[in-house]
Structure 1
Amino acid sequence: MPKLRLIGLTLFALSVSVGTHAEEKRYVSDELNTWVRSGPGDHYRLVGTVNAGEEVTLLQENSDYGQVRDSTGRTAWIPLKELNSQPSLRTRVPELENQVKTLTDKLSNIDNTWNQKTAEMQQKVAQSDSVISGLKDENQKLKNELIVAQKKVNAANLQLDDKQRTIIMQWFMYGGGVLGAGLILGLLLPHMIPTRKRKDRWMN
């Protein structure tokens, strides 16, 4: 009977010292497999191990130990120093690797998109350069044609001036010839008329 009372008092003391605690997620540290015990202390027997990095549910805790439930539903006590509030590296590393891969893929897509846009811009610039070069050639061609046309106009003007001078000279020559012929006729006609007829005219 005294033994039963002693066991009851011990259990009551443990329940008071442990108290209640809301269930929380915790993660076993990244060390090697950690031993768990049947109670909150080093003097309790070992009941097994939990894997490093394993996710467990914290049921309650005292100053040094916490009661946890693992993925199999087993409850045991583990030193609080072996529990972390953040996922273990074994869990985070694959996630980080996936994030790195995702970011790498995004960067690769951005790089490919940028290269494609750069190639398109270079193609547009090359096309623009070709168009500009063609316009320059066409402009130079038109300038050359304009120079040739101006030379033809100047030559035509010179020919026209020569023809005008030739026509003017011809008119002067025709006019001078007519005037000279009239003058000669004026001088010769009186001598060509018979004198008798002139006397008859005077007598009449």
Structure 2
Amino acid sequence: MHKFRLICLTLLSLSVSVVAHADEKRYVSDELNTWVRSGPGDNYRLLGTVNAGEEVTLLSSNEETKYGQVRDANGRTSWIPLAQLSTTPSLRTRVPDLENQVKTLTDKLTNIDTTWNQRTADMQQKVAQSDSVIAGLKEENQQLKNQLIVAKKKVDAANVQLDDKQRAIIMQWFMYGGGVAGFGLLLGLLLPHMIPSRKKKDRWMN
């Protein structure tokens, strides 16, 4: 009877010291694989080990023995020292995540670099096309200027030829006018001598 009471008191004390947890996530320390036991203490039998860095679910904890009851990925329930549990993911878990993040960032940087290079090439091509268009416009402008200079020279030459023709025509008219005037003057001088006067005819008739 005395032993039964002692066992009951022991179980009661253990039940009082056990704190339940709402399935909190914990991570086994990154050290070597850790032994797990069938109960909250070093005097309970060993059930096996959990891998370093493995994620487990904390079900309850014993404040006196500093053990926590966990459930591993295989669904096995066991007890493990609370000192072997951590609230942050282990390096074994974080390193792949960090590697994935680094790879993602590297891919993004590569895509940004490729996109930037493509945009730079497009801009350079557009600038080259603009330079070609500008050069073509300048050449066309120079050709138009040259054509304008040639046209002005032709107009000047035509004006000179027109002035020469006008002067030649004026000289011809002057010559024609002078000839007519001279012929009239000469005719006026000769006519009186060519027509005999009436007085002389009357004398001859008498």
Query: Normalising by the residue count of structure 2, what TM-score does the alignment of the two structures yield?
Result: 0.88
Determine the C-alpha separation between the residues in 1 that align with 2:75 and 2:130.
Answer: 73
Alignment partner, residue 124 of structure 1: 126
1:112-191 mapped onto 2 (5 Å cutoff):
112-191=114-193
Deviation at 1:66, TM superposition (A): 1.2
Kindly report structure 1 stretches of 4+ aligned residues shifted beyond 6 Å: none
How many residues align? The count is 201
Shift of 1:198: 6.3
SS of the residue aligned with 2:73?
A: coil
Moved more, 90-99 or 137-146: 90-99
Q: Aligned AA for 1:162?
A: D
Q: Secondary structure at the match of 2:41?
A: coil
Q: How large is the RMSD of aligned CA atoms in angstroms?
A: 2.0
5+ residue gaps in structure 2? none
Aligned positions of 1:14-93 closer than 5 A: 14-63=14-63, 64-93=66-95
Query: Partner letter of residue 34 of structure 1?
Result: T
Q: 1:68-119 deviations in whole A, cap 9, x for unaligned?
A: 1112332222222221222212112112212221222222122212211221
Residue aligning to 2:110: 108
Structure 1 SS opposite 2:88:
coil
Give the TM-score, by structure 1 length.
0.89
Letter in 2 for 1:24: E
Determine helix, strand or coil for the equivalent of 2:22. coil
Which amino acid in structure 2 is aligned with residue 187 of structure 1?
A: L
Please tell me the residue identity of whatever aligns with 1:19. V
Q: Secondary structure at 1:19's aligned position in 2?
A: strand
Q: Could you say if the C-alpha distance between residues 162 and 9 of structure 1 is closer, same or farther in structure 2, counting changes exceeding 3 Å? A: same
**In percent, how many aligned pairs have the same letter?**
80
Counterpart code for 1:53: G
Deviation at 1:48, TM superposition (A): 2.6
1:55 CA displacement: 1.0
- Quote how far apart the aligned CAs of 1:4 are: 2.8
Tell me the secondary structure at the aligned position of residue 66 of structure 1: strand
Distance 1:136 1:197, change over 3 A: farther
